[in-house]
């Protein structure tokens, strides 16, 4: 049985505005949807925030002046199935300890760790990741089947020659990282070594985050036929990560953009001392660091 009822009365009953019935979006969504689909196909592990930043960067390169609202990108991603499933967070028991060192300028603290993957034939891959904690640059990604303390030492010394010598390096307590040969090489290079407390990976949190990003965006999406194939793909991802991938903790700048912007503000020469406390950088460094934007999002 049908009852005639006015539009006004029907809207009052369901609690909505009459304007909503006649609203039609004036935006051209299909152009955005195609860009979002292309980016989501190329970067299947990017969420709507990262897709928003990638579209925004494309528009800046094209010289477009339109505003791009992140809420609209989120709505389109939800509508067309481009969102990622929500990640489950694990509860951490206890507060743990603070990180042994906190980076306060470039080349202050480097962090390194091992990751593991496998080839198509089941043979194990071992990946050494090295990151500058201040700029978040992936300085090195060494890939091999076996890596001992000598390989770690050789890789770090090569990175010292390329990027300069850090004041501290941090790692967990793996046998390759606490070997006397490696400690001796670092001491001769003038680098202080710090190890996190056993069972406290959050003390090396920035490097752990990079490892998780590498896992989601590269290792889980690729099937490596042999060692050379793995080395090429992982090195290509390193270039993508440093040069083109915006980082949310850097105000959606890339690590290389941050490194270039702070290079002119922080002096490349500084007095070194292996006995200086980790949280007390040299006075001239501290003065110059204070002048830098403390929030990366303020960098222009």
Residue spans of the domains in the chain: they are 27-82, 109-267
Average pLDDT score over residue span 252-278: 66
Average pLDDT score over residue span 265-285: 44
The CATH-assigned architecture of domain 109-267 is 2-Layer Sandwich (3.30)
Q: Residue 262 in contact with residue 217, Cβ under 8 Å? A: no
Average pLDDT score over residue span 121-146: 94
CB atoms under 10 Å from CB of 239, counted, come to 12
Dump pLDDT digits (tens) for 49-76: 888 888 888 877 888 777 778 888 888 8
Amino acid 166: pLDDT: 94
pLDDT of 225 over the 50 cut: yes
Dump pLDDT digits (tens) for 135-173: 999 999 999 999 999 999 999 999 999 999 999 999 999
E-strand stretches of 109-202:
109-118, 124-132, 138-144, 168-171, 192-195
| Per-residue H/E/C for 47-60 | CHHHHHHHHHHHHH
- Contacts of residue 35, defined as CB under 8 A and 6 or more positions apart, other chains included, come to 55, 58
Provide the H-helix boundaries in 133-179: 149-163
Percent helix, strand, coil in the chain (nearest 5)? 45, 10, 45
**Stated pTM of the model:** 0.67
pLDDT of 21 over the 80 cut: no
pLDDT of 132 over the 90 cut: yes
Amino acid 145: pLDDT: 94
More reliable by pLDDT, 93 or 15: 15
pLDDT of 87 over the 50 cut: yes
Extract the tokens encoding 33: 């949807």
More reliable by pLDDT, 274 or 232: 232
More reliable by pLDDT, 290 or 216: 216
pLDDT of 217 over the 80 cut: yes
Mean pLDDT score of the chain, rounded to an integer? Answer: 81
Dump pLDDT digits (tens) for 3-16: 778 888 888 888 88
Worst-scoring range by mean pLDDT, 93-97, 138-142, 170-174, 287-291?
287-291
């Amino acid at each position: 049985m049908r009852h005639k009822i006015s539009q006004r009365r029907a809207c009052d009953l369901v609690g909505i505005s009459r304007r909503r019935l006649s609203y039609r979006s004036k935006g051209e969504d299909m152009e955005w949807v195609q860009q979002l689909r292309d980016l989501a196909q190329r970067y299947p592990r990017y969420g709507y925030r990262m897709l928003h930043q990638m579209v925004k960067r494309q528009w800046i390169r094209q010289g477009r002046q339109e505003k791009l609202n992140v809420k609209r990108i989120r709505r389109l991603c939800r509508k067309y199935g481009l969102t990622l499933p929500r990640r489950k967070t694990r509860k951490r028991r206890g507060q743990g300890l603070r990180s042994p060192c906190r980076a306060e300028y470039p080349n202050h603290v480097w962090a390194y760790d091992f990751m593991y993957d496998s080839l198509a034939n089941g043979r194990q891959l071992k990946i050494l990741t090295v990151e500058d904690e201040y700029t978040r640059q992936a300085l090195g990604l060494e890939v091999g089947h076996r890596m001992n303390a000598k390989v770690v030492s050789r890789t770090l010394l090569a990175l010292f020659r390329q990027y300069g010598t850090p004041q501290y390096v941090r790692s967990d307590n793996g046998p390759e990282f606490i070997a006397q040969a490696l400690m001796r090489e670092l001491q001769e290079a003038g680098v202080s070594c710090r190890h996190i407390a056993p069972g406290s990976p959050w003390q090396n949190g920035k490097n752990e985050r990079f490892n998780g990003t590498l896992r989601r965006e590269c290792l889980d999406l690729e099937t490596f036929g042999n060692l050379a194939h793995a080395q090429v793909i992982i090195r290509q991802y390193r270039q993508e990560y440093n040069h083109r991938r915006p980082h949310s903790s850097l105000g959606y700048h890339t690590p290389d953009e941050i490194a270039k912007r702070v290079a002119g503000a922080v002096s490349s020469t500084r007095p070194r001392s292996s006995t200086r406390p980790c949280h007390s950088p040299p006075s001239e460094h501290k003065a110059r660091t204070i002048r830098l934007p403390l929030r990366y999002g303020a960098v222009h």
